[in-house]
Amino acid sequence: MIGGYSAHHKSVKLLNKLLVDCTRILGTTYTYSGHENLIKNVPLIFVSNHQSMYDISPIEYDLSDYHPKFISKIELGKGFPSISYNLRNGGSALIDRKNGKQAIEEIKKLALYIQKNNYSAVIFPEGTRSKDGTPKAFKENGLKVLTKYAKDAYIIPVTLNNTWKLNRYGIFPMNVGTKITIQYHKPLKVSEYKFQEILELTEKVVTESITT
């Protein structure tokens, strides 16, 4: 891309602002809390519940200063203008859920990337969206690889509420007047915990703040 990474990063921020603003036309509101828990100049791993295709834009726009990269299924790497381009070229990990070796290598590459550059990764360990807001059990594999290779990282648990209501009726019509909240919880330093401890603690923190 002309202008390199900097131009790409600014374009992604603008794109996500536009996507968020489009939902505001329907009376959607976004309330963020916990910004004081975000640490700078270290790699961060944002671990969030997953309710909707509309989870990504408000997170990516709000966390732009932390250069968030996503773990996404490989199918999203094509067919979605701008979004697919960003996933392919912005440093995110596109994983083939039918190919465990490929998925591990992609996540490892992402972990080393955020470790080197003090960027952030965003992972939805439920694996699939919860269509009614009810959380699903966290899967460990992706987070385990991230924490293994991004050794200096801090985990930031994230709780999303009500994004599922935007498309509660399907793709169309979208819901009107949805009140979305995004909460960033206190950071957990990866090196201070055994993996199973940090997995269970993160899941507990995230899910306890979900309202359905």
Q: pLDDT tens-digit profile of 89-147?
A: 677 888 888 898 999 999 999 999 999 999 999 999 998 888 889 999 999 999 999 99
**Token pair 């996404």: residue:** 72
- For residue 91, give the 3-state DSSP assignment: coil
Angle at 41 between CA 40 and CA 44, to 5 degrees: 70
Ranges of the chain whose pLDDT falls below 50: none
- For residue 144, give the 3-state DSSP assignment: helix
User: Which of 77, 168, 105, 103 lies closest to 131 in space, CA to CA?
Assistant: 168
Continuous H helices in 25-99: 56-62, 83-89
Number of other residues whose CB lies within 10 A of the CB of residue 203: 20
Continuous H helices in 1-74: 4-24, 56-62
User: Which of 65, 71, 63 lies closest to 91 in space, CA to CA?
Assistant: 71
pLDDT of 53 reads 86
CA dihedral angle for residue 153, residue 157, residue 162, residue 166, rounded to 10 degrees: 10
pLDDT of 125 reads 95
| Strands, E assignment, 119-172 | 120-123, 154-161
pLDDT of 2 reads 60
pLDDT of 199 reads 97
Number of other residues whose CB lies within 10 A of the CB of residue 18: 12
| Strands, E assignment, the chain | 29-33, 44-48, 68-73, 93-95, 120-123, 154-161, 179-184, 188-189
pTM for the whole thing? 0.93
